[in-house]
Structure formats: structure tokens, C-alpha cells
Amino acid sequence: MKNSFSRAFNVIKVSAPLLLNKGTGINDNLNGIERTVSFQASDINNSQIEVVQSLAKWKRIALARYGIIKF
């Protein structure tokens, strides 16, 4: 049923990230007042990780990656 629905409506499943590496430019900084929630990830070469604040910017990047919109 899932495949027939996908074909009928021409949709694909895309998963959104919950965490991002700091400095990727993908995390939306909201209005500039709120601070992003971040933490040190010792298992990933002591990388600074941020919790995704808003998926607005990520959605635009994903839509462009899949060729749905162009920038």
C-alpha cells in the first residue's frame, strides 16, 4: 500500500535531522536573540553539536538537493 500511495501521489520520504555539526550553516538562527542548544560530542572528534532550532532553512536546502526548487 505504501508504494502504491507513493507512486500515485509522486512523493518520497525524506528524514529531517535532529542534530547538526556547529558551523554547517544549516541551522536557522531564528530571530538572532535565542541561543542555540549545543553540546560537545566526545564520540565525534570532540565536535560541537547543535540541536536543530527550525527546519525552514534545511527544507529549502533539501528541496533544492532533490531538484524540486532552484536557487
Count structural domains, the chain. Answer: 1
- Domain for residue 4, yes or no? no
Helix, strand, coil percentages, rounded to 5, for the chain: 25, 15, 60
The secondary structure element, H or E, covering residue 51 is: strand 47-51
- Domain for residue 29, yes or no? yes
- Domain for residue 6, yes or no? no
Q: Which residue has the cell 558551523?
A: 23
pTM: 0.65
- Domain for residue 12, yes or no? no
Q: Which domain holds residue 52?
A: 18-66
pLDDT in tens, 15-64: 898 998 888 888 877 677 778 889 998 887 878 999 988 888 888 888 89
Which one has a higher pLDDT value, 12 or 18?
Answer: 18
